[in-house]
Chains A and B, each alone.
Chain A
Amino acid sequence: MSQLYDLKVLIETTIKDKGMDSAQVRGEIALKAGRLLSFISPTTPDDPAGVAKLKQAIKEVLNINA
């Protein structure tokens, strides 16, 4: 599985655990990361820049270090 997909799973788990508004939080992260989370699948290839941007977005929105 790709690193991007792992991060997507982390996001969804955190949203579920914290009872957050899923669409809102996913939207904020997607806008900051510059990619739609819906399009990230286990086979999505990693690219270092995309991973870094998604990690940064997670940190800013969810305040956790991925």
Chain B
Amino acid sequence: MNYKSIQAKVLIALVVCLVLGTGCVVGLMHYFTVQNSRGLATEAATGSQKLFTILEAREVSKMTAVSDALVINTQVRDAFTARDRSRLLALTAPLYPQLKSEGITNWMFHTSEPDMSVFLRLHNPAKFGDHLNRFFDKEVARTHAIVSGNELAKAGFAVRIIRPVYDSKGAVTGYVELGEELGQFMRAMKSQTGDDYGLLLNKKFVNKQFWSDSSATLKRRDNWDDNAGFVVADRTTVNDNIIKFQGDLATVPEDGSVLEQYQDGSSVFVRAIFPIRDAAGNTVGAMFVVRDITAVYTTMRKTQNILLVLTFVSLSGGILIMLTLLNRFIFKRLKHILTAATRLVGGDFETEIKTDSEDEVGQLEQLFEQFRNIFVSVLADISATQAPK
């Protein structure tokens, strides 16, 4: 092929268009895939955060209802007012297994201020008399109203409610507390969404000795030294990918944020995070969410590949059609004119160019034919002049 020809230049331009067009489609599809993955991760974070809030509200409501029934039970109230631990235990212990089966794993009675010590732990009756001195205790003593929210205790990080118990004269005789471990929330969330969760707590808000005691109570390994800035309170998977984190848990945005998309074997996951606050409003940790997007990702990739092939085929087809048309309407006719002109100069005066086309090349063909006739006529005149008389 003559690379100086228009045909070659047009072909090169079309091939460049093909490459650019295909490249643009690949780029666009990659952009959409990334955006969709990010959208899925964002949805995982916001959806999980909403679900967590709903579950938290539902459980607080349930525990409030249970506490309502407890504080109006005169036998329980009188036993507590009389500080009769054995009787109080006898009255409440039969209820504990049922509450535990409903997820309420922590149940405590506290004496009133200023002592505010633990009077009875239904989940650990042998242990009592200690002072927890948490935000919860101070807040309920200050307000004498129901306080609810997340709080770390030796039995773990849990959503709790604490409320005053009044004696028959209407004076505050102490407080009753109910709590559910957040680990249960995570498993409930996993059963609803299929996502995996990991709860991390900022070490700034956790006492090392407290965590060690809590680990012993819950019969789990003390993982305090596993990570520099945080401890893993619970997680629904043994995969360490869920808790990989380098930043500061305190800076996690209120609405959560997307961390990454990663591959594990043939599966594709997105990871997001949302903050967890305690009852005092401190961002004490964060919940990690890992969503398996393999099915969606595979579909996106498949669509991407189909679009890529379709784009390549349609562009190639378009280029082929364009080249065929250019060849038929321009290049072939130009070549015919060139050949006729060359032959005319070589002495072939008979090769006519017949055309009825009125396009640009047709005008050139008509012009050439007129020129050919004049040329032949001039040659004939010259030959007649030079012929011997």
**Residues in A lying within 8 Å of B, measured CB to CB:** 22-31, 36-39
Contact = CB atoms under 8 A, between A and B. Distances in A.
Contacts of B66: none
Contacts of B382: 39
20 contacts: A22-B346, A22-B347, A23-B346, A23-B348, A23-B351, A24-B339, A24-B342, A24-B343, A25-B346, A27-B341, A27-B342, A27-B344, A27-B347, A27-B348, A28-B346, A29-B346, A30-B346, A31-B345, A36-B345, A37-B347
A26 B347 contact: yes
Contacts of B345: 26-27, 30-31, 36
Q: 10 shortest A-B CB distances, which residue pairs?
A: A27-B346, A23-B348, A26-B346, A27-B342, A23-B346, A27-B345, A23-B343, A30-B345, A27-B343, A23-B347
Nearest to B341: A27
A25 B345 CA distance: 10
Contacts of B379: 38
Contacts of A24: 339, 342-343, 346, 348
A15 to B, nearest CB: 10
Contacts of A23: 342-343, 346-348, 351
Nearest to A29: B346
Size bin of chain B's contact surface: 10 to 19
- Interface majority SS on A: helix, strand, loop or mixed? helix
B338 to A, nearest CB: 10
A36 B342 CA distance: 11
A43 to B, nearest CB: 11
Instruction: Tell which of B343, B346, B348 has the most Cβ of chain A within 10 Å.
Output: B346
Contacts of B346: 22-30, 37
Contacts of B351: 23
B342 A31 contact: yes
Contacts of A30: 345-346
Instruction: Tell which of B342, B348, B351, B379 has the most Cβ of chain A within 10 Å.
Output: B342
Contacts of B348: 23-24, 27
A38 B376 CA distance: 12
Nearest to B379: A38
A22 B351 CA distance: 13
A58 B240 CA distance: 82
A23 B348 CA distance: 6
Nearest to A28: B342
A36 B346 CA distance: 8
A38 B342 contact: no
Contacts of A39: 382
Interface string B325-356: 00000000000000101111111100100000
Instruction: Tell which of A22, A23, A24, A29 has the most Cβ of chain B within 10 Å.
Output: A23
A30 B348 CA distance: 13
Nearest to B382: A39
A36 B379 CA distance: 10
Contacts of A26: 345-347
A63 B121 CA distance: 112
Nearest to A39: B382
Nearest to A26: B346
Given A27-B342, A27-B345, 11 more contacts: A22-B346, A22-B347, A24-B339, A24-B348, A25-B346, A26-B345, A27-B346, A27-B347, A29-B346, A30-B345, A30-B346
